[in-house]
Structure 1
Amino acid sequence: MIRFSSSKLGMMVSFILILMWFCELSSIVGATNHVRITNQLSEGMDLTIHCKSKDNDLGVHQLAYNASFPWSFDDNALYNCHVEWLHGQTDFDAFDASGEQYRCSDCCWAARIDALYYVVCETGESNTWNKWTPRRTLSR
């Protein structure tokens, strides 16, 4: 039978607890991804969105003018969204961990009258991402 002195056992338990705390902290700090979609269409124009990954369906949400739908997650998922309003619709990848099209941990999107825009969250700089196509009924 292996014997441990109480001081060695205490040091070992302390080391394990510190290691567990560090692992937990590293999975929280810097690993979280944030996505936000904002309705910037026009006063009185609602935006309907439906976003999902392979494992997580966020449901259908209706956003009034200037309202946002934010979500956060810690995995390396691909989140695809269908967005539509009275005069158009589009599908796009709101977050793509592979970074094939872009790479962000804070991904901001804005639906405007002429198109869907990718917005740099920190600066507000925006680029046209998808033009609207004729609307179809949201059934996804």
Structure 2
Amino acid sequence: MNNLFISLILFSLCIRNTIGISKIVLTNELHNKILAVRCKSKDNNLGDHYLRVGQSKAFEFDDNVWRRTLFFCHMWKGPNYKVHKVFDAYRSKWKSDYGPTYFWIGREDGIYYRQDPNGKPPVKRYDWNLTAP
């Protein structure tokens, strides 16, 4: 009986993580510039993407069983891609409910964040860095 109880608890912990899929959405709100993006975790490289003005790219994922998922993203401003930023786009500990979406927006003066697409306006989180020539 104890083994069944322990198995049920472990099963419920595993299934809990598969219920809510999280999403990162990256959007280009630059002025006439391409936004290059690359997001990675320890286990996944989501590839390089080039977003035109007004274009977005979404990535869906779920936390690992141990709730230690981290996705970090790179953003570069075109056309020469010397202005960039690397930032943590998602950490498991940020997840307050199942299925949240994390919006990251590249603008001329920095990178903005919001979680609710219909709520408060985006908040500036990061300034751009200039890479060495």
TM-score by length of 1: 0.69
Instruction: Give the structure 1 partner of residue 128 of structure 2.
Output: 132
Runs of 4+ with deviation above 4 angstroms: 23-28
Mapped partners of 1:131, 1:32: distance in 2 = 29
Give 1:71's match in structure 2, choosing from 59, 65, 68.
59
Gaps of 5+ in 2: 1-7
Count of matched residue positions in the alignment of Structure 1 and Structure 2? 113
Aligned pairs for 1:39-50 (under 5 A) are 39-42=28-31, 44-50=32-38
Q: Which has the higher contact order (CA 8 A, sep 6+)?
A: 2
Give 1:113's match in structure 2, choosing from 99, 104, 108.
108
Mapped partners of 2:84, 2:120: distance in 1 = 23
| RMSD, matched Cα | 2.7
Instruction: Give the structure 2 partner of residue 83 of structure 1.
Output: 75
Answer yes or no: is the 8 Å Cα contact 1:52–1:80 preserved in 2. Answer: yes
Instruction: Give the structure 2 partner of residue 37 of structure 1.
Output: 26
Percent identity between matched residues is: 28
TM-score by length of 2: 0.72
Q: Which has the larger radius of gyration?
A: 1
Which amino acid is 1:108 matched to?
Answer: F
